[in-house]
Amino acid sequence: MASRSVDRSLDSLVLPDFLEHVRIPGLPPAAYYISDFITSEEERVMLEKIASAPKPRWKQLTHRRLQTWPSDLVNDKLIDAPLPAWLDEPVVRRLKSIRLSPDSESDVFSNSPHRKPNHVLINEYPPGIGIMPHKDGAAYHPIVCTVSLGASLCLDIYKLKEDGTLETKPEWRILQEPRSLLITTSALYTDFLHGIADIMEDVELAESTVANWSLLRSPSDFAEGRNTRKTRTSLTYRDVLAVSKLGGKLGLFKKR
């Protein structure tokens, strides 16, 4: 008798049948939130891989450090190279396995140039440290998939005023729990800025102030309206538009 292969890694996960089932309400098009996208064991392994990466992999900024896989962009171009296996599996397969809606055969990356992410940025945020409001820029197809590890924090979404300056307060907040996936696409990606406040505690958390409250795994964890920050690591998966097979010509692999 033919044996069926069963993906045991999915046992503790509740993946949606369609992304439209996990669309964050009340936001411009579009953001999606899956609270249990990876298992605790997968989270543990990923954090271990990140921690054991060779030291030169880390780029130390003033308050935060980051890793870039498979490499930094050069003039907005990526040198063609695969993602390491631990970043590819299970995240990319799982991303590709969720259809947008019952009317569509497409997944979120079906229309991106390489049909899947080819680049991952890993950011580590100690308590009290965030990232300034920014847009991700034109080097990428307008989709970012963020896997959160270790702890929760709020991503702030900002509007631009008519004169092009930033509103002082964020318009929306998205609370990202450990092991969750946040997908940001379309106008929300291109027309708005996102950032993370430099605070020790996210406050005033409630159904009325957190856009994805109804999609959280454990809203009861934030019943007091507070989230004390702990070290949180994010993996942002993107498809870089320009990929070069000509690393040699760019002089990147020349011996000096």
List residues binding ligand AKG (CB under 6 A): 121, 123, 131, 136, 146, 155, 194, 234, 236
Name the minimum Å distance from CB 216 to ligand AKG.
Answer: 16
- Smaller CB distance to ligand AKG: residue 112 or 236? 236
- Helix (H) or strand (E) holding 186, with range, is helix 186-191
Nearer to ligand AKG, 96 or 135 (CB): 135
Rounded least distance, CB 156 to ligand AKG, Å: 10
199 vs 179: CA distance, rounded Å: 21
Q: How far is the CB of 154 from ligand AKG (least distance, A)?
A: 10
Cite the beta strand spans of the chain per DSSP E. 31-34, 59-60, 65-69, 77-79, 119-125, 131-134, 143-149, 153-158, 172-176, 181-185, 193-196, 201-202, 227-228, 232-238, 242-244
Rg of the Cα atoms in the chain: 19
Q: Which is nearer to ligand AKG, 136 or 171 (CB)?
A: 136
**Cβ nearer to ligand AKG, comparing 61 with 246:** 61
* Residue of 81, 48, 54, 80 whose CA lies nearest to 67: 54
User: Measured from the CB of residue 11, what is the shortest distance to ligand AKG in angstroms?
Assistant: 27
Write phi, then psi, for 176 (nearest 5 degrees): -110, 115
**Closest residue to ligand AKG using C-beta atoms:** 234
Nearer to ligand AKG among residue 200 and residue 223 (C-beta):
200
Nearer to ligand AKG, 53 or 246 (CB): 53
Q: Nearest approach, Cβ of 251 to ligand AKG (angstroms)?
A: 27
Q: What is the 3-state secondary structure (H, E, C) of 12-67?
A: CCCCCCEHHHHECCCCCCCEEEECCCCCHHHHHHHHHHHHCCCHHHCEECCCCEEE
Residue 35: CB minimum distance to ligand AKG, A:
15
